[in-house]
């Protein structure tokens, strides 16, 4: 025996961090004789032999331990040769296979250098598990970053989840552990077993895993996510051609896939990606939305987190199918002319013991100091954005979703919690930055890098920030000192506008400023105007039931007036599912939307209005061309608090197409209400939210009005309008008449 008893004991106790130094074939000496030594550790092996592939010669190995450790010494042999191991199991089964310890590393020095530097943008193609063919041999390569571990093994059904049988090698000082296991393929379940410096065993899922089994197992599944044959070339070409153009209409339908619709005939289960694709595409296209935004679909163990507590950052959740099924979903929507935006969660991660938390026995992905590494509100952990490998992990994660799944945008969750070190913290509970300030400089650098790289690699893809503060320059380009997002959720407008509409109409005169104040900051950032899932949960009431009225018809009238105001107001649009037909109940993640309500006109009328608003918004460039700058907006009258009437214009730069929007937010009919307008002629009524078609009384302006030579609101001509109660009226003038 060449192996020392101490080396053998260390290996059998699974404490050896350099298995390739012992296993496989190596030059060696025994006594004075030089030669080759081969060793193998095979589960449930009664005998083991080395088979020379060139000659077919068989060399029986000596059994050094009952657990299945074998050794062979070949004196006077100098050159390594290709071989396989021939094993007889205790059951009598005979197998012959390639030795996992006979292969060179699958990662090179340049890969590791870039990874440690945080600049390996495709680390998702290097780390994790990947089916590969090496030297003509098919198998799976595994790689994981765990610099604090003393030993790391791949475990799965193929070795009875025993960490002694497939220990990995560490690649220098990189902290990366690697192993190629020949003979494995797609569908294998696996985890990483880590022996940390505190002599504790940790069983962890793969941070770069592309597919996972359901809880409570949570094992990663070997999967190649690139099998799908994409058919969306035309869509991607149009996306590239529109890159960087803020003048395009963007109207987003936010969806939680598990609760949009459910299969009642099959145990009330959620529909799969493949089942949802045509159903959702049909509905969203008919409704006139341009994009779908998916609440997080990255793998997560708890349905009640809505997907925001991610444990598999690179994996579409198993709940609706495989990664290839998700590709089909996105591809189908693209072929129907619909973009797909993903809700992305890089701000934090849960404490589940099987995932990222204390991954290798150290605070690897999170800060060690809870004043930096623990999120007070959600009980989660905060990424250490200042660590190269962690920053690289998240940057690569963003790029992987765009690369593998052709997504058209990322809505970045909880950006405010990333930007501020004192976010939701009291005095003494946070650590200032190196300048003594409250800004998280590392998180800012990470966001800038992510936005820059996304735009470099994937022109036309949207980066959208969910950010609730007045942090400056969020949508300013990185080259100009900004953070580099394309759009930011307009949380201020949303809160103020809802505050206004929640008031009973008799009180609105005292809160007129809530409806108009948003214009003061509307063009300080590039805004998307939103009513998201956050507004219809946790006792906040549904959009319909927020409305300040007692009866459903009046609530519906208020909501119709609000939606028409939203679509006419500058900014891109986003609406959460169910809000488009005025769902009565708050959103519930475990059920489906109350689609039966659409049989009632109070609800169906809201849906029909949203459809018409989308169609108007998409068809009329004047409503989107200057969504993000002040050239397309002008007040008519923002001071009529006494009557709770607000009026403004949307217009193109040449003023050849002009829209006048007038909102009457009391239940009083305003006869002969005069508004000034900049052009003489006929103003056609494009939208009247009081139309009988939408569930209103039908009172309006008989299709349109012609100006009169009566000065009003600073204009030399005006319109005398009938303003229905609780309504928004949109009128259109064109130079052609």
Residue 655: helix, strand or coil by DSSP? coil
The answer to whether the peptide bond before residue 216 is cis (omega within 30 degrees of 0) is yes
Number of other CB atoms surrounding residue 415 within 10 Å? 25
Name 134's Cβ contacts closer than 8 Å, sequence gap at least 6.
103, 106, 141, 180, 182
Question: Rounded to whole angstroms, what are the CA distances from 541 to 157, 414, 556, 588, 614?
Answer: 48, 22, 14, 11, 25
413 given a catalytic annotation: yes
Structure tokens at 729: 């009226």
Q: Which is catalytic among the residues 299, 324, 389, 413?
A: 413
Q: What is the DSSP string of 299-338?
A: E-S-GGGTT-S-SEEEEE-GGG--HHHHHHHHHHHHHTT-
Half-sphere exposure of 732 (CA within 13 A, CB side): 18
Helix (H) or strand (E) holding 443: helix 441-457
The DSSP secondary-structure symbol of 415 reads H
DSSP one-letter string for 480-540: GTS---SEEE-HHHHHHHHHHHHS-GGGGGGGHHHHHGGGGTTTTS-EEEEE-GGGGSTTS
Across 368-459, the runs of DSSP E, i.e. the strands, are 381-382, 409-412
Annotated catalytic residue 612: no
CB 204 within 8 A of CB 196: no
In DSSP notation, 136-194 reads TEEEEEEEEE-TTEEEEEEEEGGGTT-TTSSBPEE-TTS-EEEEEEET--TT-EEEEEE
Identify the CA nearest to 603 among candidates 557, 547, 561.
557
Q: Counting beta carbons within 10 angstroms of the beta carbon of residue 203, is it exposed (0 to 12), middle (13 to 18) or buried (19 or more)? A: middle
Q: Considering 466, 554, 612, 627, which one is annotated as catalytic? A: 466
Note whether 60 and 49 are within 8 A (CB): yes
Give 351's contacts (C-beta < 8 A, 6+ positions apart): 357, 379, 380, 381
Q: Rounded to whole angstroms, how far apart are CA atoms 294 and 681?
A: 45
**In whole angstroms, what is the distance from residue 209 CA to residue 462 CA?**
25
The alpha carbon of residue 140 and the mean position of all alpha carbons in its chain are separated, in whole angstroms, by: 27
Distance of CA 69 to the CA centre of its chain: 46
Active site residues: 413, 466
């Amino acid at each position: 025996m060449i192996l020392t008893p101490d080396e053998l004991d260390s290996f059998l106790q699974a404490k050896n961090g350099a298995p390739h130094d012992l296993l496989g074939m190596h030059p060696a000496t025994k006594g004075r004789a030089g030669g080759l030594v081969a060793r193998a550790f095979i589960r449930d092996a009664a005998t083991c032999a080395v088979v020379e592939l060139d000659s077919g010669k068989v060399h029986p190995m000596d059994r050094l331990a009952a657990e299945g450790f074998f050794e062979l010494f070949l004196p006077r042999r100098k050159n390594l040769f290709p071989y396989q191991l021939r094993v007889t199991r205790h059951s009598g089964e005979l197998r012959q296979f390639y030795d996992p310890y006979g292969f060179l590393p699958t990662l090179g020095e340049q890969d590791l250098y870039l990874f440690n530097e945080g600049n390996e943008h495709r680390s998702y193609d290097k780390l994790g598990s990947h089916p590969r063919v090496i030297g003509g041999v098919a198998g799976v390569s595994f790689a994981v970053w765990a610099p604090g571990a003393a030993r790391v093994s791949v475990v799965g059904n193929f070795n009875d989840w025993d960490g002694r049988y497939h220990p990995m090698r560490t690649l220098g000082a990189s902290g990366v552990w690697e192993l190629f296991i020949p003979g494995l393929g797609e569908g294998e379940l696996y985890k990483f077993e880590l022996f940390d410096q505190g002599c504790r065993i940790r069983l962890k899922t793969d941070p770069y895993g592309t597919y996972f089994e359901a809880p409570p197992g949570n094992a990663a599944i070997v999967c190649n996510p690139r099998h799908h044959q994409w058919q969306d070339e035309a869509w991607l070409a149009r996306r590239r051609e529109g890159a960087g153009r803020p003048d395009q209409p963007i109207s987003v339908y936010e969806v939680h896939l598990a609760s949009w619709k459910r299969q009642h005939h099959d145990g009330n289960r959620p529909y799969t990606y493949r089942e949802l694709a045509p159903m959702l595409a049909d509905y969203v296209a008919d409704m006139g939305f341009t994009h779908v935004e998916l609440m997080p679909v990255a793998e997560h163990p708890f349905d009640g987190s809505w997907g925001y507590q991610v444990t598999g950052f690179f994996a579409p959740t198993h709940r609706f199918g495989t990664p290839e099924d998700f590709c089909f979903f996105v591809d189908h929507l693209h072929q129907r002319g619909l973009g797909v935006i993903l809700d992305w969660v890089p701000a934090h991660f849960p404490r589940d013991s099987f995932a990222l938390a204390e991954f290798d026995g150290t605070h690897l992905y999170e800060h060690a100091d809870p004043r930096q590494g623990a999120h007070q509100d959600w009980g989660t952990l905060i990424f250490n954005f200042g660590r190269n490998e962690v920053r690289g992990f998240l940057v690569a994660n963003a790029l992987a979703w765009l690369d593998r799944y052709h997504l058209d945008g990322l809505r970045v969750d909880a950006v405010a919690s990333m930007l501020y070190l004192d976010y939701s913290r009291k005095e003494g509970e946070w650590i200032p930055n190196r300048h003594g300030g409250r800004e998280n400089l590392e998180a800012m650098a990470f966001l800038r890098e992510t936005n820059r790289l996304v735009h470099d690699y994937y022109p036309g893809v949207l980066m959208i920030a969910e950010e609730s503060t007045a942090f400056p320059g969020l949508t300013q380009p990185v080259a100009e000192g900004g953070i580099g997002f394309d759009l930011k959720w307009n949380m201020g407008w949303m809160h103020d506008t809802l505050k206004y509409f929640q008031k009973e109409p008799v009180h609105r005169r005292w809160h007129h400023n809530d409806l108009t104040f948003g214009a003061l900051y509307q063009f300080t950032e590039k805004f998307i105007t939103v009513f998201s899932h956050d507004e219809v949960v946790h006792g906040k009431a549904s959009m319909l039931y927020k409305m300040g009225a007692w009866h459903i018809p009046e609530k519906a009238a208020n909501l119709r007036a609000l939606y028409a105001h939203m679509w006419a107001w500058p900014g891109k649009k986003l609406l959460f599912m169910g809000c488009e037909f005025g769902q009565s109940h708050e959103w519930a993640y475990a059920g489906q939307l109350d689609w039966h309500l659409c049989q009632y006109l109070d609800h169906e009328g809201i849906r029909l209005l949203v459809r018409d608003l989308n169609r108007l918004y998409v068809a009329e460039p004047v409503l989107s061309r200057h969504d993000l700058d002040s050239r397309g907006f002008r007040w008519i009258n923002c001071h009529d608090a006494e009557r709770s009437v607000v009026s403004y214009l949307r217009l193109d730069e040449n003023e050849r197409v002009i829209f006048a929007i007038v909102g009457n937010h009391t239940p009083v009919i305003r006869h002969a209400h005069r508004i000034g307008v900049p052009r003489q002629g006929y103003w056609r009524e494009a939208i009247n939210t009081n139309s009988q078609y939408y569930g209103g009384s039908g009172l309006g302006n008989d299709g349109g009005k012609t100006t009169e030579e009566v000065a009003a609101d600073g204009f030399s001509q005006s319109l005398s309008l009938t303003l229905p109660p609780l309504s928004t009226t949109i009128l259109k003038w064109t130079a052609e008449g």
